[in-house]
A and B are shown apart, each in its own frame.
Chain A
């Protein structure tokens, strides 16, 4: 029981990180129908920005989180303007390969500048921890920070999408781009906003991962990127609460599988769940099923 509680706490932290990355995937897919394979690498850049800010500028955790989010949102907008805008009209497969080329560019460009070695993220949050139930369940402060920051960012995101004009424009564009344009929505700007917000969330996730796992390297974005993508699909791609649900669900499952003896197969389990969900409910667990009309 205590063991289980401990694993639930770990799963919640991992799931929060997946959820933050998955939100960016889902928002971009919802608005331009593109699987943005470079998203995992934006998260990697976020981790490196956090690393640079904390080690060379000696700033604390919160300033580095904010700086990393700002840098990543700028990077996201640049990627959208430079790489994705020219191919917006071409086929899906061309768009997908462009996304992969951006991803390779970020990974290996970063590797060229910072070298391939793994770096240790400074411990900016201290080593305090809460002990519950006579010390048998340990909650690290890091876990609390991660979950709390994730919740705050999600509330903020929900506010932006539901209550602001930009959010309304995003919802309109994802529903029907042409109609939104006819109603006077600036589609280009709205797409840029979407990339900025999604990338900022990925940047935050990058810093959180750096703090949580303490090691970063230029290829760290690939696996969590794929996992977050699975999370987005499980929840229903394009559906924002779905991404959060999928992230937490996947984080929890993965932690449980690792804890109870299947750590070698934890990635395979993630993919198996993905395939099951796709076969049984292709629009995701929280997605709506849209009938195809001829």
Chain B
């Protein structure tokens, strides 16, 4: 059905993706985008990957995780070890980051995902803290002082295509058979189980995919900022990621992207008032939760964009509410 329309839509998307990449790359080469703006673009990109991957776990599958930064730190350390100590190219670092974070996701996911709601949140928080404390005490990775002299490989090209890959893979996962099973678990776990969905399998699967992309984000982070330490990936980092997801809208990929962009810009502006930065941030957070508890975009998502549709008919039925 509508193969023609979809093809045109895909071509348009591809065109926009390539255009955006070339535009920023050109502006960067011409010096219109200076290193400060580039830094913020990189931060936005990392935040998008983190938020979209957490959204798969929390927003789509309904599993409340407060330990996402732990996977980011595992990825960051894996990539840092690969590129610094083993002197491998960046792609090996990214692959190692992705694999080790995904393995950690399976190991942490299988026991904890039996828990629900607040208890799961606390257990993931506990795992996140344990990962951080282990990092603080292992001398091979520098302990509390962290790892230095990580080569800077991350640039606009890497960030941009990693963001695109993350969004596309997670979006297609959500729209697949497996993704619908995940959404069913969020809506009603008991009903999903009664309908024959293997809930444990899909919860662990979503958790692992989320962890994998968080690991990639960690690798990009480590190879941009030269330096990582365990305390950068503490409880507050997990909260920051969760805030982006909730701010953008749970279960909305477009929301996570918008949330990452808006919150990164807000926090870049707040850098100019260092003493009151966190106070203002807290107030903004509070106001969002009171006035828009469903986030910026709520349930509005990529496929609701009428941009590419003839006549702008929104497909009813899928969105029940």
Contact = CB atoms under 8 A, between A and B. Distances in A.
B296 interface: no
B282 A101 contact: yes
Interface in B274-288: 275-279, 281-283, 285-286
Contacts of A83: 286
Contact of A101 (B123, B127, B190, B286): B286
Interface stretch (A59-67, A155-163, A245-253, A272-280): A272-280
A43 interface: no
Contacts of B281: 104
Given A92-B117, A268-B129, A278 B286 contact: no
A9 B111 CA distance: 35
Contact of A108 (B242, B282, B285): B282
A93 B58 contact: yes
A51 interface: no
With most chain A CB atoms within 10 A of its CB, the pick from B112, B130, B246 is B130
Nearest to A94: B293
B279 A105 contact: yes
A91 B59 CA distance: 12
A93 B118 contact: no
Contacts of A96: 121
Contact of B282 (A86, A105, A278): A105
A102 B286 contact: yes
Nearest to A112: B275
A239 to B, nearest CB: 14
Interface range on chain A (Cβ under 8 Å from partner): 35 or more
A268 B137 CA distance: 11
Contact of B112 (A95, A108, A275): A275
B289 A94 contact: yes
Contact of B133 (A33, A230, A265): A265
A226 B126 CA distance: 10
Interface in B98-151: 111-112, 114-115, 117-119, 121-123, 125-127, 129-130, 133-134, 136-137
Contacts of B133: 264-265, 267-268, 271
A278 B119 contact: yes
A282 interface: yes
A233 interface: yes
Given A271-B130, A274-B122, A107 B293 contact: no
A135 to B, nearest CB: 35
Given A97-B246, A97-B289, A265 B282 contact: no
A86 B122 contact: no
Given A91-B293, A282-B115, 10 more contacts: A93-B64, A97-B246, A101-B282, A104-B279, A105-B282, A264-B136, A267-B129, A271-B133, A278-B126, A279-B112
29 contacts: A33-B118, A35-B118, A35-B121, A92-B118, A93-B64, A97-B239, A97-B243, A97-B246, A97-B289, A98-B285, A98-B286, A98-B289, A101-B283, A101-B286, A102-B282, A104-B282, A107-B278, A108-B282, A264-B133, A265-B137, A268-B130, A271-B127, A272-B130, A275-B111, A278-B119, A278-B123, A279-B112, A279-B114, A292-B190
Interface of A: 33, 35, 83, 86-87, 90-98, 100-102, 104-105, 107-109, 111-112, 226, 229-230, 233, 264-265, 267-268, 271-272, 274-275, 278-279, 282, 292, 294
